[in-house]
Amino acid sequence: MNAKIVVLPGDGIGPEVTAEAVRVLEAVARRGGHALSFTERLMGGCSIDAHGTALTPEVLADCQAADAVLLGAVGGPKWDDPRARVRPEQGLLGLRKGLGVFANLRPVRVHPSLLDSSPLRPEKLRGVDIMVIRELTGGLYFGQPKGRDVKDGHARAVDTLEYQDFEVRRVVELAFRIAKGRKKKVTSVDKANVLESSRLWREIATGIGQANPDVALDHMLVDTAAMRLVTSPATLDVVVTENMFGDILTDEASVLAGSMGMLPSASIGEQGPGLYEPIHGSAPDIAGKGIANPVGTILSAALLLRHSLGLEPEAAAIERAVDRTITDGCRTADLGGTLSTRAMADEILRRLG
């Protein structure tokens, strides 16, 4: 296979972890006889410094023409003024919209060797294997109108939470397709007791559930879901929810795995390149120290092989190598260990079968 991958290292620890993921992808490609080409581009704060915008049209076009996009992280204190006209996160939102990746898949699996790394009691974590599917291109983050004005002498800020029926339908249908290959259970998370958009979401999810009787569907309010994630996470299988709820819940779910550095994500659409990134941020406090955990990015690279390139054996080989590495006691600082970013990746490369 020949494939073109655009790498957006981004800011903070992004360049450090993406470099290790590329090393792993190159190793897998060599062993499988595949030709993967990598092109680095600027996105995020580094792009603001260089071009005055978080995502240039040229970089977006390069990403759209690629087979997949691997992203590190964006943002940092340098660009953290909420009043700024241009912010790194605008690049991320523009990239998602420009690629048409409407679903963000975030697997949350607790490795048996890391049961003591989470603040939750080990007995609550055994058997946790959740797939959270977050709608990615609609909702509050993209709703119009938004902005600020003055009303009755008071400053007013407006954000609009909007969903159209097709936006809900396609992501919930994806959740059901994925659930059929797992435990056949979908939990749809909303706030239907308050929000009209959630009532539409629940109506559509209910209809899809009726059309798929082999998959169990339950509806859960987002506040209840937040509690369930920490009180009985092993009871959840596939969780599907809207953009902002998914953003918050998946960060909460990272606590289960012991570190945000462990968790990958895949953003996919109906066609075109997918976007793959760890769920953690740019971690400016440790940037440049060589101690960031590369596992989330390396597992994101495995998802890239699976979902964008159709290379399931190679994806599974990376995941097995990561599992063996963790089982053998290899740890970066976030997990209480001493291995550097490069050394952790070296250990994973040694175990690639």
pLDDT tens sequence for the chain (353 residues): 899 999 999 999 999 999 999 999 999 999 999 999 999 999 999 999 999 999 999 999 999 999 999 999 999 999 988 788 999 999 999 999 999 999 999 999 999 999 988 888 999 999 999 999 999 999 999 999 999 999 999 999 999 999 999 999 999 999 999 999 999 999 999 999 999 999 999 999 999 999 999 999 999 999 999 999 999 999 999 999 999 999 999 889 988 988 889 999 999 999 899 999 999 999 999 999 999 999 999 999 999 999 999 999 999 999 999 999 999 999 999 999 999 999 999 999 999 97
Same domain, yes or no, for 20 and 35? yes
Spatial distance between the Cα atoms of 12 and 23, rounded to a whole number of angstroms: 19
- Specify whether 32 is located in the same domain as 64: yes
Q: Are residues 96 and 169 in the same domain?
A: no
**Domain CATH for 149:** 3.40.718.10
Look at residue 286 and tell me if it is in a domain: yes
Of 257, 290, 315, the residue at which a domain comes to its end is 257
How many structural domains are present in the chain? 2
* Residue 313 maps to a domain: yes
- Assess if residue 329 is contained within a domain: yes
Per-residue model confidence (pLDDT) at position 81: 86
From CA 186, how far away is CA 166, in angstroms rounded?
19
| Strand-strand pairing, 264-268 and 274-278 | antiparallel
CB burial of residue 318 (10 Å; 0-12, 13-18, 19+):
buried
Nearest to 278 by CA among 256, 303, 241: 303
Whether residues 56 and 16 share a domain: the answer is yes
Dihedral sign, CA of 123, 125, 128, 131?
A: positive
Beta-sheet pairing, 2-10 with 68-73: parallel
Short-list 105, 272, 250, 232, CA closest to 179: 105
The answer to whether residues 135 and 167 touch, using CB atoms and an 8 Å cutoff, is yes
Residues 75-88 as b/e (b if ≥16 CB within 10 A, e otherwise) read: bbeebeeeeeeebb
Q: Considering the domain boundaries, does residue 114 fall inside one?
A: no
* Residue 202 confidence (pLDDT): 98
Same domain, 158 and 248: yes
Q: What is the pTM of this model?
A: 0.92
- List, in sequence order, every residue forming a beta bridge with 117; answer none if it has no partner: none
Residue 165 and residue 50 share a domain: no
Q: 192 near 219, Cβ under 8 Å?
A: yes
Q: Tell me: do 166 and 267 sit in the same domain.
A: no
Question: Domain boundary at 233, 257, 281, which?
Answer: 257
Last residue of a domain, one of 201, 228, 257: 257
Q: What is the domain extent for residue 74?
A: 1-109+263-353
Q: Are residues 144 and 245 in the same domain?
A: yes
CA distances to 102, 179, 326 from 185, in Å: 21, 6, 29
Question: Do 199 and 140 lie in a common domain?
Answer: yes
Q: Are residues 7 and 34 in the same domain?
A: yes
Is the bond leading into 88 cis (omega within 30 degrees of zero)? Answer: no
216 in a structural domain: yes
Q: Sign of the CA dihedral 40, 90, 244, 175?
A: negative
What's 214's DSSP letter? T
Catalytic annotation, residues: 141, 191, 223, 247, 251
Identify the pLDDT of residue 117: 86
Is 238 in the same domain as 350? no
Identify whether residues 2 and 82 lie together within a single domain: yes
